[in-house]
Amino acid sequence: MNAGMDIIIEAKNVTVNRGANIVIRDISFSLKKGNHLAINGNSGGGKTTLGLAIAGRAYYKGSIDITEPYGQRISWIEQQHHFKNLSNTSDFYYQQRFNSSDAEDAQTVQQALEEIGGDIASVLQTMKIEYLADEPLIQLSNGENKKLQLAKALLQEPYILIMDQPFIGLDADSRKDLHQIINHLADQGLVIILITTPDEIPSCITQVLVLENGIQQSLTDSQSFNSNYSNSVKPGPKTFDEQLLKEFLSPQNGVDFEYAIRMKNVTITYGEKKILAGVDWDVKNGDRWLLSGPNGAGKSTLLSLVTGDNPQAYANDIYLFDTKRGSGESIWDIKRKIGFLSPELHLFFDQGCSAFEAIASGLFDTIGLFRQLNDEQVELVDHWMKITGTHNLRQKRLFELSAGQQRIVLLVRALVKNPPLLILDEPCQGLDKEREAGLLELINTVCLFGNKTMVFVTHYANDRPDCIKNFIALEKGKVVS
């Protein structure tokens, strides 16, 4: 490497295999001092794999040369967040967040940062999360956890910061703040490498590398990329068999109810902290709702009362499918009627499951498949995989799939039993625009032709199915619209 050129990173013919499959092939680029890179491309295209290779976390062929001392301090921020409790275990379950007694065994944000050391007060201020210092990690929202990930990385004082989809799960204001933080870090001399979508590229980024199915499509300056991007987004091919889906859907699914959800003055507290305050909400059979609100507003807690994952439901006036909670119904009676997907479910799902097993687990509302399927159930799962174009993933383990591909599989899991109510929390998280458009069209078709009731959560107001006509917004636990 020619030091006179101020090249910090030079990659040549980087190839990564996963078993017999080539994930990325012959990727080459260089990054000079003062420049910053965005890695863009289709879902499953190899973006995360390239980031891991640069960070020294994936075996690769070819070469990646990093000028010293930059190679000594590389921080990698992954899409998902992981943490341990005070008992030093990480064996969490996704409902655990809603059990207040479990919070006593969880680290606080302050304690998690103290394990790293450094100027914690300054980092909390930079990330605008001072208010979270005493919060248990287990009770943080998905977006709040993303901010904590970056705070932990900054305490390590990296020279190179590689972030995998840092904007997903963040509300609009938090995304704006993160753009400013990333630009500030770049001004301070950090080398920034982002795996991100074309519409979330901070102004500090100077180069954009585009991957498609593991192949390098282009390496351009950000100005050229941005000017071309608006003209390059086109509707992708339909990702599902619409005719087969319409023939398969059962409009009523044998369920007769007037209201899927009725809540009257619902209040949820953990200790002295009020998460929901006096929420009134009626969801009629066939309604499709958009649930919105900033990170930490109480959206996940509200949904946990519907999905049977929050024990405080019994202390409130809540009706599901015209039956009052606590009237003798079991959690499984409730879950049987609900198809559910959320970032937390994705986080805690058994990564050793095959795609087929993950989808089949939706028949039993378990996080993983723990029982033998009969022939009819096998045929049903295969039918849904054929409808949704996921049959080619049938034998692949979740850990072999990209985060976007995993999200698609878990959406099919929510649909597989053809439930009357869909609860879809950020279902398009981590998907490229073409795949997102296809998934929204799938959800829209399922709702309209299957007569589904749905609650849909997104932090991008325009990224929602057309069938949504009802809106509810939370802010600090209260309904604001």
- The per-residue pLDDT for range 71-97, each reduced to its tens digit, is 999 999 998 766 555 554 444 444 445
**3-state class of 174 per DSSP?**
helix
**3-state class of 85 per DSSP?**
strand
Average pLDDT over residues 372-399: 94
Average pLDDT over residues 170-177: 90
Whether 382 shows a pLDDT value over 70: the answer reads: yes
Query: What does pLDDT average to over the chain?
Result: 88
- Return the closest-CA partner of residue 269 out of 98, 463, 147: 98
pLDDT tens-digit readout, 310-320: 889 889 999 99
Whether 211 shows a pLDDT value over 70: the answer reads: yes
* CA dist list (Å): 478 to 232, 299, 474: 41, 10, 5
Peptide bond into 419 cis (omega under 30): no
Most confident of 101-110, 225-234, 321-330, 415-424: 415-424
Task: Tell me what pLDDT residue 230 has.
Answer: 59
Asked if residue 105 lies in contact with residue 85, where contact means CB atoms within 8 angstroms, the answer is yes
Task: Tell me what pLDDT residue 93 has.
Answer: 45
Whether 266 shows a pLDDT value over 90: the answer reads: yes
Domain ranges of the chain: 3-232, 242-479
**pLDDT category of residue 328 using cuts at 50, 70 and 90:** confident
Q: Supply 225's token pair.
A: 């990329």
Which region among 178-192, 239-253, 352-366 has the lowest average model confidence (pLDDT)? 239-253
H or E element: which one contains 163? Answer: strand 160-164
Average pLDDT over residues 234-242: 71
**pLDDT category of residue 425 using cuts at 50, 70 and 90:** very high
Residue tagged 């998934």 (tokens): 439
pLDDT tens-digit readout, 334-349: 899 999 999 888 888 8
The residue among 105 and 124 whose pLDDT is bigger is 124
**pLDDT category of residue 195 using cuts at 50, 70 and 90:** very high
What is the CATH T-level fold of the domain 242-479, as seen in this structure? Rossmann fold (3.40.50)
Asked if residue 100 lies in contact with residue 138, where contact means CB atoms within 8 angstroms, the answer is no
pLDDT tens-digit readout, 436-474: 888 999 999 999 999 999 999 999 878 899 999 999 999
* pTM given for the model: 0.87
Number of Cβ atoms within 10 Å of the Cβ of 417: 19
Task: Tell me what pLDDT residue 1 has.
Answer: 44
Q: Do domains 3-232 and 242-479 have the same CATH topology?
A: yes
**pLDDT category of residue 105 using cuts at 50, 70 and 90:** low
Domain 3-232 annotated CATH 2.60.40.420: no
pLDDT tens-digit readout, 293-302: 998 899 999 9
List alpha helices for 20-141, DSSP H. Answer: 47-54, 109-114, 120-126
Whats the size of the chain, residue-wise? 481
Whether 402 shows a pLDDT value over 90: the answer reads: no
List alpha helices for 297-431, DSSP H. Answer: 299-306, 331-335, 343-348, 355-360, 375-388, 403-415
Q: How many whole angstroms separate alpha carbon 357 and alpha carbon 343?
A: 19
